[in-house]
Structures are given as C-alpha cells and as structure tokens.
Structure 1
Amino acid sequence: EVQEEMVQTLERSRALSKEFLDLAMKDCDAFDRFMEALALPRDSEQDRETRKRSMQEALKGSTLVPMRMVELAGELAEYCLAVASRGNPNAITDAGVSALLIGAASRGASMNARINLASIEDGPFVEESLRRLDAALERTGTAVDKVLAEVSTKLPR
C-alpha cells in the first residue's frame, strides 16, 4: 500500500514538474506581452488609453502565472510530507530539502505576483488575487512546517 502511494506521489510530482516548467515559459511570455504593451505609442489620447488597457491586461497575465505556481507549490509540499512520513527512510532529508526549496520558491512567486498587483487598477481582481495568494501560501507553509517537523523527528540529535 505504501509502495503504491509512493509510486503515485512520484508520478504526480513529475507531472507537477512539467507544469512548473510550462509555467516558467508562460511567465516569460507574459513578460514579453507586458513589454510589448509598454512599447505601444502614446501620441494621442486614444493611443494612451489603448496602451494603458494593454498594460493592465498584460499585468493581470503576469500575475496569474506566478499565482498558479504558488497554488501548485502547496500540493507539491504535501507530497514531500507523504515521502517524509511514509517513504523510504533514505529519502527523508531529500523530502526536507525539497520542502525548504518549495517554500522559498512559493514565497518568491508570491512576491512576483504582488509586485504586479501593486500596478493593477482592477480592485476586485487585486482583492481576489491577494486572497488566493494568502490561502496558497498558508497551505504551502503548513505543509513545509509539517515536513520539517517530521524530518527532525527522524534525525539524530
């Protein structure tokens, strides 16, 4: 039963790894869209309005990608907990180090999302995004703390 759980954990972790790589590419694309919007002409009032609208949409796209990364980080950290709790004893510290890295990555992605949110004028979008970020960071932080606690119980003191 544990072996089956670990196989499923490995398979889902690999799928998440691919999704994170895809999100990294999407993040680059979102940044490119913002830079394109930034380069739009500003000659007339209509140009400025089009540019502003394009920049706002690009900022939203640039926020959604790292926000998704933060949300997925919680799931990945929970897989680390499964490994630390029930996996191969030789993988305990791998789970702990992975959890530490996941925690740092999720906080970094959250910062990237929040810096974009600071420039977005759509109040409801900003509020909902902040709510999602806070919930995802809480989930990740809780899982990371549990992994580290589990790992520490299995290491000599």
Structure 2
Amino acid sequence: MNEGYREILSQISSSSPTPGGGSVAALVLAHAHSLALMVARLSKGRKISATGVEAADAVILSSESGADRAIVLAEKDAEAFDAVMRAYRLPKGDESDVSARNGEIRNATWGAAAVPLETAFEACELLVSIQKLAEHGNLNALTDLAASAELANTAAQIAAMNVRINLYSIEGEDVEIEAARIERLLATSNELVGMIRSIVSERLGW
C-alpha cells in the first residue's frame, strides 16, 4: 500500500467532519468496482461460455471507469457536507436573513442527500452486473467477486443512512419522493446481494 492510501485513511480519521461516512461509502464502492473488474478480466482469460464472456464484458465496460466515478462521488460528498456547514454559518439577524439562510440550508442539505443517493444507485447497478458474472465467471475467483458484491451492498447501506439523515431535516413532496427512492434502492441491494450469496454457495458447494 502506498502513502497515498495511508493519507486518505489519515484524512478520514482526523477531527474534521469531512471526509465522512458518505465519502467512505463511495470509496467502498470504488473497491467493489476494482475487485469486480479483476474477476471479469480473469474470467475473460479462461474458457467460459459465451454468456460468461458477455457478463465479463458488461462488468469491464462499467467498472473500468467505475472506481474513478466513485472517487469523484467521494469528493463531491465532502464538498456537499461542507456546503451545509457554510449554510448554517450564514447570518440570521432579521427575517430576510433568516429566510435566505433557511433556503440555503435546504438547498445544501438536498445536495448532501443527492450524492449518497447516486452512490447507492451506482452500487445497485454494479450488483446487477456482478450477479450475471457470478453465474458464469471464473470459479477460482468467485470469492473475490462475492467480496465485491458485499462491498457494493455495504456502500449502498452506508449511503442510504446518509441520504436518510439529510432528508430527515427537510420537508417537501420532492423529499418524500427521494426518500421512497432510497428505500427501493436499499431493498434492491439487499435482494441482489442475497441472490449473489446463493449463487456463490451453490457454485462452490458450500
């Protein structure tokens, strides 16, 4: 592990509130993409069915840029939370100030919910690809693919908590719509990782 990796961990463990859980969720997703990509490439190097090749190609197409997308989400999450903190520091001297401050807080909080929502969506998309590869991919690397699935599901779970805590503090019909969306994504993630676990257990005879 190089010093860059250690530096990221040092930033996470500092007394600063960012990067926090939302950024970590995205970084977990980056690891999930990287492991899935490794298994897809290993599978392409073995004699597998045409369906397996297609599944591996789908993972490669998505995950080659997946880790980079996830890292961008990690950065955006930290920026979004910093924006919330700035909004709370705005003056509240008169009614005009209070109204402007409340508007900024709502907008910033909405943004802070939107980023982990995207992380959860990306995690579910990856799980769909992993499921197909789990059925036909390289048997010798199947536990690595299972690890990727567990990481993707964990990313979705952490992201969902961050969506909930941000949406909880604001109101509106749009909030209710997004709250329902994250619950659907979470249910999808749980269902997919359960299916992948079953596939892995069956193929490995566990």
Instruction: Give TM-score, length-normalised by structure 2.
Output: 0.71
Q: 1:151: which partner in 2? A: 200
Equivalences, count:
156
Structure 1: 5+ residue runs without aligned partners? none
Q: Tell me if 1:117 matches 2:130.
A: no
Rounded to whole Å, the distance in 2 between the matches of 1:127 and 1:81 is 30
Instruction: Give TM-score, length-normalised by structure 1.
Output: 0.92
Counterpart pick for 1:132 among 165, 173, 181: 181
8 Å CA contact retained: 1:73, 1:106? yes
Question: Aligned with 1:42: secondary structure?
Answer: coil
Rounded to whole Å, the distance in 1 between the matches of 2:193 and 2:108 is 32
* Distance apart, 1:4 and its partner CA: 4.2
Q: 1:78: which partner in 2? A: 128
Structure having the higher helix fraction is 1
Runs of 4+, deviation exceeding 6 Å: none
Structure 2: 5+ residue runs without aligned partners? 1-49
Question: Aligned with 1:131: secondary structure?
Answer: helix
Question: How much is the aligned-residue C-alpha RMSD, in angstroms?
Answer: 1.4
1:4-153 aligned within 5 A:
4-121=54-171, 123-153=172-202
Question: Aligned with 2:204: secondary structure?
Answer: coil
Rounded to whole Å, the distance in 1 between the matches of 2:189 and 2:69 is 17
